[in-house]
Every structure is written in C-alpha cells, then in structure tokens.
Amino acid sequence: MTKLELNTNYKTEMIDITEMIAEEVMRRGIRDGLCTVFSPHTTSSIVLFEKTDPKLRRDFLATLSRIAPAELEYESDGDNTPAHIKSTLCGPRIVIPVKDGQLFLGKWQAVFFCEFDGPRDREFFVQVI
C-alpha cells in the first residue's frame, strides 16, 4: 500500500488524482488485478466522476451543499458537520480494475479526491493487487 499526499485549496473541491494513481499502478507492475483508492479522512471522499466538463463538478458540489447546507443548525459540535455528511454520502474508497497494466476506466471517467472541509494537507492510499 502506498501513501500519496496532496494539498487542497478550497473549502470544497474535486481534485483529479487519476494520473497519480495510474503512475502507482505502473510502478507496481501488476498487469491484471484491482486498484483500491482510499481516503482515511472523515471529511473527504474518493469518487469516480466525469472528467471533461468542470461545470458538472461544480453542479455536484452545489447539489451536495443543498443536501447538507452549511447554514443549517446541527446538533453536533464544530462547524464541519456538513463535510462529514457529504463524505459519508460519497464514500471513502473506490475499486478500479487493472487491465494490461492500466486503470480500466470508461472514456469519460476519472478519479477525484473530494475535499469537503478544506483547505488542508491530505493523504490517500493506493493498493494494487
């Protein structure tokens, strides 16, 4: 398992981490298998999403903010309750097939690290088997 690091710049954002993961798959030399990408943080997620239209990413984040709005009064302490809710809805990990030494993704798919409580220094883990 490999730890990869990144810095986020905004309260909420989606960062394309596909190339970082693809490099790790190549480095491992596994021709056919599975690649798991996992975030250990409770206010971030890893998702597969459409890669070409940045407006879709903005729409996705805006929709999540309507589901868990920052201005709602929550019972929990702190101000990051919406980030925890968004992270739980999106999930901490994905699994991608590896075929012929490459991530087996659809034409429009990419892997994104979703930040819901930034900006922060973050890490995520990649395991190829």
- Report how far residue 1's alpha carbon sits from residue 23's, in angstroms, rounded to the nearest whole number: 14
pLDDT tens readout for residues 11-59: 999 999 999 999 999 999 999 999 999 999 999 999 999 999 999 999 9
Could you tell me which of 71, 63, 67, 54 has the C-alpha nearest to residue 14?
Answer: 54
According to DSSP, the β-strands at 102-103 and 13-16 are unpaired
CB 20 within 8 A of CB 26: no
Domains and CATH numbers, the chain: 2-128 (2.60.120.460)
CB 101 within 8 A of CB 54: no
- Using pLDDT thresholds of 50, 70 and 90, give the confidence band for residue 77: confident
pTM metric for this prediction: 0.96
CB 119 within 8 A of CB 7: yes
